[in-house]
Amino acid sequence: MEFDRPVPLMLRVLHLLRLFIAKIGRFFFVLFNSNEPKRIPPINCDILREPAVTVARKIRRKEITSVEVLEACIRRINDINSALNCFVESRFEEAHKEARAADALIRAGTHSAEQLELEKPFLGVPFTTKDSIGVKGLHQTAGVVLRRDYICEEDADAIKLLRAKGAVIIGTTNVPEACMWWETHNHIYGRTNNPYDTRRMVGGSSGGEGALQGAAGSVFGIGSDIGGSIRMPAYFNGIFGHKPSRNIVSNSGQHPIPKTEYINSFLGVGPMVRHAVDLKPILEIISGENSHKLNLNQPVDVAKCKVFYQINSKAPLTDPVDKDIVKAMHKVLEYLQEKHSIRSEEKEIPLLRKSLAIWFANMKSNETFGSLIMKDNTVFGTLKEIVKNIFGCSGNTLIALFTALFDFGGVQYESDRYKHYQKLRDELENTFTKMLGDDGVFLYPTHPTPALYHNEPVLRSMNFAYTAIINCLGFPATTVPLGLSCDGLPIGIQVIANHNNDRLCLAFAEELEKGFGGWIEPHTSTKERKD
């Protein structure tokens, strides 16, 4: 079989050359970033440290008001946003009206706390979402200058479902241009910084949401993921993020929206939270009519689950997995062995070496990436924009322009090579489906390194292979934080299960949070964190 063949010599040489360039680059990035990061203030309101389900319960029981929680979020956003640049547009005035209405409903006493929990489980709870997910009355730019004046006329389906259950949307967060890069930066709102070290990136495309949640700026968040866009920002910012099983949560109301049902199945809307206990109730709401397919309320006995793991994908042009992440993975395996007598089985799945080739080929369609960000979507037009960018005159980011340029090459849509990679995708999905069954999970790195310095992903651009392949296969996956690296940056892994077995991912997320502490509040400086 093709995947059993050795990696071609030229590709091995390119891989070694890229690793060498990345290592040299890291030296200069460290040198350039020798200054202290910006400080963010400590959290000064305990309610922002609480799970969303706890906040909701306290609001229902009149222990705290929705208005008080909203104002705590607004203060926190104002405190951190100058340093992080993660929050891009507010609807604070409308949110205040909705919070007051929630408090009035509770005071009226026409519904018991039990009724409210059943009918409006997140009544009065403030939340945020990324700029590319539609919120009525707010801009929906997706970081594209051509869309800077676009105002959304209605809520995306996921937002609509949450608001129907009482949640209060308070604003939107930053994304990379057209949501197709894993550092959050665009020419409308600028670059977003990591709350654990502002010299570092936050991931993408739900990067602004990841940073806001990591810094406790709202009670919970909603992101979307087509190649790791929930899981990577969750990982880099030390929170939990869940990409649901394919075709479970509606993608309606996002921009850009995939033009084919096939690619649409790779995209998933999901929760981004500081506490694992919030994942399930949020997922149940945003799944809408499909929630019954997930059997989320079916109990999971972690001790009776099979656990498989792989530490390195061995995909060409990706970095080896950082030693701190390897150590964290082994600690997880030891914990499961000691607490639940689970003997985890190490796997080496050969087709994971082709993760990038499979994802890139399967993402092809008749629509080119350039058409999302430029009026002149030709090779010449793209090259012209690249030249303009060098002189600071382009509305597009350089990485988006190169992405548009590369889109003219590679595997062509509906070609024989395209169909070949579709077959490889199907074969890999089959391998996982048989391995996982209805009681198995696969532990896998979310990313091979902790958060990089700003712009450094250009030298390590293929590291998203660990998340992207899971989108192609349609499996649910949850990023779980596992503490901090030796540099004080969040690290973790992703837990993957079979189709519609999201509850297994969520159960393991809750179990590992108990064992490893979950989200760690960002400290105010790198020095204090090390001390």
The helix/strand count (H/E) of the chain reads as 19, 13
User: Tell me, what's the pLDDT at 523?
Assistant: 76
Identify the band that residue 8 occupies on the pLDDT scale cut at 50, 70 and 90.
confident
Sort 368 into a burial class: Cβ within 10 Å, 0-12 / 13-18 / 19+.
middle
**Residue 77, both tokens:** 């956003």
What distance in Å separates the CA atoms of residue 112 and residue 417, rounded to the nearest whole number? 60
- CA distances 88 to 108, 170, 390, Å, are 35, 11, 26
Both tokens of residue 96? Answer: 């205040």
Write phi, then psi, for 179 (nearest 5 degrees).
60, 25
Is 17 domain-assigned?
A: no
Residues paired with residue 400 on neighbouring β-strands, in sequence order = none
Q: CA-CA distance, 122 to 495, in Å (whole number)?
A: 26
Nearest to 74 by CA among 48, 51, 49: 48
The per-residue pLDDT for 259 is 86
Is residue 10 over pLDDT 90? no
The amino acid at residue 105 is L
Summarised one tens digit per residue, pLDDT across range 244-266 is 999 999 999 999 999 899 999 99
Reduce the secondary structure of 436-490 to three states and give it as a string: HCCCEEEEEECCCCCCCECCHHHHHHHHHHHHHHHHHHCCCEEEEEEEECCCCCE
The strand pairing partners of 33, in sequence order, are none
pLDDT value, residue 7: 63
Residues 363-400 pLDDT 10s: 999 999 999 999 999 999 999 999 999 999 999 999 99
pLDDT, tens digit (0-9, with 9 covering 90-100), for 451-485:
999 999 999 999 999 999 999 999 999 999 999 99
The structural domain count of the chain equals: 1
**Which of 58, 66, 120, 130 is the catalytic position?**
130
Q: What is the mean pLDDT of the chain?
A: 96
pLDDT of the residue at 75: 98
* Edge-to-edge order in the sheet of strand 490-497: 87-90, 168-173, 126-130, 220-225, 268-273, 240-243, 477-484, 490-497, 440-445, 306-309, 345-346
Is position 237 within any domain?
yes
Compute the distance between CA of residue 231 and CA of residue 205 in angstroms, rounded to an integer: 10
Per-position DSSP letters for 228-256, written without gaps between them: STTHHHHHHTT-EEEEPPTTSS--TTBSS
| 464 and 477 Cβ atoms separated by less than 8 Å | no
Please state, in angstroms and rounded to a whole number, the distance separating the CA atoms of residues 429 and 350: 13
- Which tokens go with 173? 């967060």
* Closest residue by Cα to residue 306 from 343, 333, 272: 343
Single-letter code of the amino acid located at 213? Q
Structural domain includes residue 473? yes
Beta bridge partners of 89: 172
295 lies in some domain: yes
DSSP string, 336-378: HHHHH----EE---GGGGGHHHHHHHHT--SS-THHHH-SS-S
Q: Which amino acid is at 467?
A: T
Return the pLDDT at 330. Answer: 98
Residue 526 scores a pLDDT above 60: no
Global pTM reads 0.96
Residue 529 above 70 pLDDT? Answer: no
Could you give phi then psi for residue 130, rounded to 5 degrees?
Answer: -75, 155
Eight-class DSSP state of 159: H
Both structure tokens of 185: 């930066």
Nearest CA to 355 among 472, 276, 455? Answer: 472
CA distance 71 to 263: 40
Q: Six-digit token pair at 506?
A: 């969520």
Dihedral angle over CA of 214, 314, 266, 412, nearest 10: 130
- Active-site option among 66, 120, 136, 205: 205
205 in catalytic set: yes
For residue range 152-209, what is the model confidence (pLDDT) as tens digits? 999 999 999 999 999 999 999 999 999 999 999 999 999 999 999 999 999 999 999 9
- 434 annotated active-site: no
383 part of a folded domain: no
530 has a pLDDT exceeding 70: no
Q: What is the pLDDT of residue 525?
A: 41
Given the structure tokens 């030296």, which residue do they identify? 27
C-alpha to C-alpha distance for 121 and 93, rounded to whole angstroms: 23
Taking the CA atoms of the chain, what radius of gyration do you get in angstroms? 22
**pLDDT value at residue 6:** 59
Catalytic pick from 206, 218, 229, 287?
A: 229
Question: What pLDDT shows up at residue 11?
Answer: 83
pLDDT of 403-432, one tens digit each?
Answer: 999 999 999 999 999 999 999 999 999 999
Percent of the chain at pLDDT exceeding 90 = 95
Identify whether 81 is part of a domain.
Answer: yes
Determine whether 252 is an active site residue. no
Q: What is the pLDDT of residue 9?
A: 83
Nearest to 468, CA basis, from 357, 373, 348: 357
**CA dist., res. 415 & res. 399, Å (int):** 26
pLDDT in tens, 74-109: 999 999 999 999 999 999 999 999 999 999 999 999
In-domain check, residue 418: yes
State the burial class of residue 70 (Cβ atoms within 10 Å of its Cβ: 0-12, 13-18, 19+): buried
Cβ-proximal residues to 68 (8 Å cutoff; 6+ apart), any chain: 47
**Rounded CA separation 179/397 (Å):** 12
Token digits of residue 162: 């949450």
pLDDT digits (tens, 9 = 90+) for 326-368: 999 999 999 999 999 999 999 999 999 999 999 999 999 999 9
Domain containing 283 — which CATH number?
Answer: 3.90.1300.10
Cis peptide before 256 (omega within 30 of 0): yes
SS (H, E, C) 107-157: HHCCCCHHHHHHHCCCCCCEEEEECCECCCCCECCCCCHHHCCCECCCCCH
**What is the CA angle 3-432-248, rounded to 5?**
125
Average pLDDT over residues 227-238: 98
Looking at the domain assignment, is residue 487 inside a domain? yes
Range of the domain at 439: 47-364+411-530
What are phi and psi for residue 494, nearest 5 degrees? -110, 145
**Pick the residue with more confidence: 7 or 220?**
220
Is the pLDDT assigned to residue 1 strictly greater than 70? Answer: no
